[in-house]
């Protein structure tokens, strides 16, 4: 059986027996996660997510880029069209990991600069080779973005992973309420 045939079978099984038409488009955990496309660090696995619990945006590195912000803005419009909004009570998670493939692009500064919407000379400020620093950089970028200047980023990050074995997720959580719990070993007040 080919890979496509296998995946088609899984899709049929999902649609026939595991998909719930009662799920709402608004994530039930009021949580948005920005993570990497790396198949080893799927936020669904990392956080044990069930269908409908969280909105997940994935790109190379799980980084805040112009495209990420555009996607977030679009999701907010979708939320408003659904009678809700993304704001107080929501959790916003920036999830990076070590051994990330984005480090393989270090020799393609022009490509990275275009990806991040910055000049090649400014790439160093994005801590591309250091996921620990990169999480902090991206959280700061979100806080500084006018689009995000509302209660969704009203508090300091709560926690951060600091594992050493690859690929270990590195995350910081922005939340308007101290109400979330994630697999971490460092706490922020």
- Give the residue with the Cβ less far from Zn ion, 30 or 96: 96
- Give the residue with the Cβ less far from Zn ion, 38 or 172: 38
Q: Considering only CA atoms, which of 74, 133, 78 is closest in space to residue 103? A: 133
Helix (H, G, I), strand (E, B) or coil at 92: strand
Do residues 142 and 92 touch, judged by C-beta distance below 8 A?
yes
- Give the residue with the Cβ less far from Zn ion, 32 or 36: 36
Place of tokens 């079978």: 9
- Give the residue with the Cβ less far from Zn ion, 90 or 170: 170
Q: How far is the CB of 61 from Zn ion (least distance, A)?
A: 5
- Give the residue with the Cβ less far from Zn ion, 58 or 155: 58
> Interface residues with Zn ion (CB under 5 A)?
36, 38, 100
Place of tokens 């899709």: 11
User: Quick one: tokens of 182?
Assistant: 């994630």
Do residues 171 and 184 touch, judged by C-beta distance below 8 A?
yes
In whole angstroms, what separates CA 6 from the centre of its chain?
A: 28
DSSP state of 118: S
- Give the residue with the Cβ less far from Zn ion, 12 or 45: 45
CA-to-CA distance for 136 and 130, rounded, in angstroms? 10
Do residues 185 and 168 touch, judged by C-beta distance below 8 A?
no
DSSP bridge partners of 35: 58
CA-to-CA distance for 31 and 92, rounded, in angstroms? 6
């Amino acid at each position: 059986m080919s890979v496509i045939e296998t995946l088609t079978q899984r899709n049929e099984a999902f649609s026939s027996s595991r998909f719930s038409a009662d799920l709402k488009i608004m994530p039930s955990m009021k949580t948005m996660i920005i993570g990497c496309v790396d198949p080893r660090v799927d936020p669904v696995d990392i956080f044990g997510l069930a269908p409908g619990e969280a909105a997940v945006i994935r790109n190379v590195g799980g980084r805040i880029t112009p495209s990420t912000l555009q996607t977030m803005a679009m999701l907010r419009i979708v939320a408003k069209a659904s009678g809700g909004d993304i704001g107080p009570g929501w959790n916003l998670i920036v999830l990076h990991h070590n051994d990330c493939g984005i480090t393989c692009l270090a020799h393609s500064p022009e490509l990275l600069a275009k990806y991040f919407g910055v000049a090649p000379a400014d790439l160093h400020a994005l801590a591309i080779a250091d996921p620990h620093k990169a999480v902090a950089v991206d959280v700061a970028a979100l806080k500084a973005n006018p689009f995000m200047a509302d209660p969704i980023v009203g508090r300091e990050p709560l926690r951060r992973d600091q594992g050493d074995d690859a690929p270990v997720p590195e995350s910081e959580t922005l939340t308007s309420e101290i109400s979330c719990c994630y697999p971490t070993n460092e706490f922020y007040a």
